[in-house]
Structure 1
Amino acid sequence: MESLESLFKQYPPALIPIYLTGEPNQPIQLYQGSLKITQEGTVYEGYGTVSFEWLPSPDLKFLFSKSNNESLFQLELGKGNLNLLEIQAYAEVWISSILPIYFEHQDGDISGNLNKPVIFSSEHNLSYIIFHLTNFHQFSGMAISTSRGMWRGRLILEAESWYISIDRLENFGNIMKSLKSKGGYAITHVGTLERSDKKPFTTEEADDVLEDLHWFLSFSRGFRTSPILLVGYDNSGEKVWEKCTSYTTSPWRSVHSWFADSQESCSLSKLFPGFLNRWRSTIWNQPIRFAIHWYLESIAQAGAIQGSIVLMQAAFEILAWTLLVEEKAIISQQEFKKLPAAEQLRRLLSQCGVPLKVPDSLTDLLKASKEKELNWVDGAQALTEIRNAIVHPNPKKRQKYLNQRFPEQIDAYKLGLWYLELILLHLFEYKGKYFNRIANKEFYRENIEVVPWV
């Protein structure tokens, strides 16, 4: 009878992470050994560590110990330089604490954080890079295996000669249970970056693609997540490069984005080429960057519900201008500037195949839109008038906002996020399934639908 282990070998092996977090927020030691710290001509040599620490926010920290009787009083809090002598790496640092030697046999300690990334080795021709992800979704993907089991945990992203694999860790369920209990950060996925043609690439090329990946994955997750703890290899499989930096990444929280937890990974695979096409466009890069930023801040409710409604309007305006004026030239600059905000949004939604009417599922907003003193003809007018009532100082407008019940504001917030998600998905030429945040169906998976323009 065929053993389970041999059955598992039928599937591609799971990627092996270089770094792990056994528990959320557990520091990762990157270096331990001889150190040299300098500051304006003052030089000390000693022993210490460099670690990737998560709290209060992800950062690279160092601890330097001086074990002889040489005083540390010549150092000051502020900028300095740190040499990792055993691997010949260098970093600018900020010294935040100095504990001088007061007694014999007492170590003198210096600690602080690294201002810039630490790059171990300077190899520029790489065959592939292994990276790590924090707090990402439990998607359902291609089958992968270890000697202990098999699971559907691989995502493949391919576009513009780049090939990216991302594997959900085998113990993802336990990691998420701990994250939900403790909050913060944990490594949940490991990935590889390589060229589709297997040709070598430079670290500068890799940095560009990994930044693209940060924005793509953050848009999909609903908060910021980044490829971190990068390790590069040559074509013989030897480690030749490593880059450690405190990328922008957010603590775990329960949020909904267009990509639902446990959704098929093929949704991300279908989206990636269209995303990258827009992202690499001279016209679109900055507007997409702003729009995703405001999308993430709106989900986080920066400035509460009211602040999110205002931020989303900023995203709508820059996307409408870019699509209607710059790309398609449907309307002139002067004509666009004369349009009311509701009409700008209305035309943007129409171009992107997004329904204009207030959805029936948003019962409180729909009821308010039919009131005689409001008479909102569609969702674009409802959303922009609520936004205008928030930001304009006119007492009459201010009172109109104060008259809106909170459930109506929540519906407007949901409508704005739904609009922004669909506009971006349409711009990325997506034709797959997404999580419809306003469907309000009883069972979670029933809210996963095909985009409305298909």
Structure 2
Amino acid sequence: MNDYKLIPELIENFIDFPKPNHTMEMFIGDFELRNHECSIGVNGKIYFSWFPEYGNYFTGTFLFGDFDKYISNPVDYFDIYIDEKKISTALIIKCITSLPSTNLFLKGVLTDKIFFGDKDLKIEVINFSIPNLRSINGNVVRDKKKSIKARILLENDLWRIEIDKKSNYHELRDQLLIVGGYDLLYSGKITRLDGTHFDTGMVEDIFMNLDLFLSFINGRNTSSLFLNGIKQNEIVWSDYTSKTVDVFEDNFYPIFERNVDGINLMWKEFSKICQSKKGQIFIKNILHWYIQSKKQAGLLDGSIIMAQTGLEILYHYITDNKEDLNKTPSKLRKLLIYLEVNDKEIPLKSKEMINFSTNFLDKKYQGIIGTITTVRNDLIHSKEKFIDIISFQLKFEVYNINLWLIEISLLKI
């Protein structure tokens, strides 16, 4: 029993949904919409929605104000005030009137960060939730009933981030597999390594980098949501800003079926890249093409083209744009030299690639690069030479090799 108590406790869930895709109401009551032209009082609610429209919205009925001025300029943005405190900015997207004219229904979308509380206060810890993150076996933690392998620890020079898989993760995942969509699957917290207090401005970059990193290890977009700033064990502010999250898919992702300590080492290197503006822009761009390709946003053919766009971005980052090679094959060969990858490292299952390279390409074009660039060029230019030779299986293998090259490149940088 004493040994059990030495195991770290599971991070508390500040927000739990009763079911997937649950609409979260952040505020119910009276609020005011203001801009330079008019002021409109509304009685209603402000809420976060997953389906059918992802994001933050308000709905309500008209209470008072200069509605005629709004009608004359209906595309204006409004600041939202509650008790004289601005919490966000919104655009009215629906207005339904009926007799009498004051009987008016409004709906709006929030277009900026949404913040409740005093964001200027310095805090000790920020708690947050993560939706739709795949299952990763972490370090052991305990709840009141059992211990589970649930904790991912991420540290860099300044910050300590702990992320715990929920104790009922598999039940939540099974529900998502049935109904689809979104649910909160992990809870996390962030603190300073030196234990000092901090403000919201100090964590903007670290959360941006965390969201990028989580999306990389997830293979699909996810983000930290529903942030709560904690001071002396009390919530002093809440940030309910919506961020990019893809619908849930429980895909096997072998590159990250590894020791959880390895994920922390990856995070340290990832954080170093993101310290510079150039590095952060590079990570955003490469992950955009990688994730769009991985989830086949352009179907299989388009995903091959997207992935090779990502490989060219990697080439330019690694060479610092000092080598101006015009042709994609030359760039990718240079990238392979940097990665110390040769044709013997092609996964054994890529038999169609090996067959195509050996039997249909000129000797000078044979190998990984010749094969993937030939297939990509055929998709773009529809060369008759290969139109009957490039099979679905060959394209699928090329697609997977492209993703593999991006993954090992990011792990090596």
Q: Same fold (TM over 0.5)?
A: yes
Pair 1:405 & 2:406 matched? no
Q: Deviations over 1:19-39 (max 9, x none)?
A: 222211111111122211235
Q: Deviations over 1:276-296 (max 9, x none)?
A: 111223553323321111110
Pair 1:354 & 2:341 matched? yes
> What is the CA-CA distance between 1:117 and the residue it aligns to?
1.1
2:400: which partner in 1? 414
Distance in 1, Cα, partners of 2:37 & 2:149: 56
Match of 2:269 among 264, 274, 291: 274
Match of 2:191 among 187, 194, 197: 194
Q: How does 1:357-396 map to 2 (within 5 A)?
A: 357=344, 358-375=346-363, 376-392=365-381
**Cα distance change, pair 341–44 in 1 and its aligned pair in 2 (3 A):** closer
Distance in 2, Cα, partners of 1:307 & 1:85: 47
SS in 1 for 2:27: strand
Contact 1:225 1:249 (C-alpha < 8 Å) held by counterparts: yes
Letter in 2 for 1:369: S
Q: Deviations over 1:417-450 (max 9, x none)?
A: 11111111111xxxxxxxxxxxxxxxxxxxxxxx
SS in 2 for 1:215: helix
Match of 2:17 among 18, 21, 25: 21
SS in 2 for 1:63: strand
Contact 1:356 1:380 (C-alpha < 8 Å) held by counterparts: no
2:306: which partner in 1? 311
Distance in 1, Cα, partners of 2:332 & 2:403: 13
**Cα distance change, pair 80–345 in 1 and its aligned pair in 2 (3 A):** closer
> What is the CA-CA distance between 1:110 and the residue it aligns to?
1.2
**Cα distance change, pair 372–155 in 1 and its aligned pair in 2 (3 A):** closer
Distance in 2, Cα, partners of 1:87 & 1:300: 44
> What is the CA-CA distance between 1:113 and the residue it aligns to?
1.0
Letter in 2 for 1:287: F
SS in 1 for 2:272: helix
Q: Deviations over 1:193-234 (max 9, x none)?
A: 111001122212211100000110101100110111111122
> What is the CA-CA distance between 1:90 and the residue it aligns to?
3.0
> What is the CA-CA distance between 1:366 and the residue it aligns to?
1.3
> What is the CA-CA distance between 1:146 and the residue it aligns to?
2.0
> What is the CA-CA distance between 1:75 and the residue it aligns to?
3.9
> What is the CA-CA distance between 1:360 and the residue it aligns to?
2.7
Distance in 1, Cα, partners of 2:412 & 2:196: 33
Q: Deviations over 1:305-354 (max 9, x none)?
A: 1111111222222211221355xxxxx53xx425x422321221221233
Distance in 2, Cα, partners of 1:82 & 1:158: 37
**Cα distance change, pair 67–43 in 1 and its aligned pair in 2 (3 A):** closer
Contact 2:294 2:303 (C-alpha < 8 Å) held by counterparts: yes
Distance in 2, Cα, partners of 1:135 & 1:325: 35
Contact 1:46 1:64 (C-alpha < 8 Å) held by counterparts: yes
Q: How does 1:88-103 map to 2 (within 5 A)?
A: 88-102=85-99
Contact 2:17 2:183 (C-alpha < 8 Å) held by counterparts: yes
Pair 1:49 & 2:45 matched? yes
Q: How does 1:28-39 map to 2 (within 5 A)?
A: 28-38=24-34
SS in 2 for 1:337: coil
How many residues are matched? 408
Identity across matched positions, percent? 22
> What is the CA-CA distance between 1:107 and the residue it aligns to?
5.5
Unaligned stretches of 5+ residues in structure 1: 327-331, 428-454
Distance in 2, Cα, partners of 1:402 & 1:116: 51
SS in 2 for 1:312: helix
Contact 2:357 2:370 (C-alpha < 8 Å) held by counterparts: no
Contact 1:131 1:230 (C-alpha < 8 Å) held by counterparts: yes
2:251: which partner in 1? 255
Contact 1:229 1:245 (C-alpha < 8 Å) held by counterparts: yes
Letter in 2 for 1:158: E
> What is the CA-CA distance between 1:87 and the residue it aligns to?
7.7
1:442: which partner in 2? none
> What is the CA-CA distance between 1:378 and the residue it aligns to?
1.3
> What is the CA-CA distance between 1:140 and the residue it aligns to?
1.2
Contact 2:80 2:90 (C-alpha < 8 Å) held by counterparts: no
**Cα distance change, pair 310–93 in 1 and its aligned pair in 2 (3 A):** same
Q: Deviations over 1:119-177 (max 9, x none)?
A: 11232422211111010021111222222322111111000211000011111111101
**Cα distance change, pair 373–321 in 1 and its aligned pair in 2 (3 A):** closer
Distance in 2, Cα, partners of 1:237 & 1:366: 60
1:285: which partner in 2? 280
SS in 1 for 2:20: coil
SS in 2 for 1:192: strand
> What is the CA-CA distance between 1:377 and the residue it aligns to?
2.4
Distance in 2, Cα, partners of 1:210 & 1:109: 36
Letter in 2 for 1:271: M
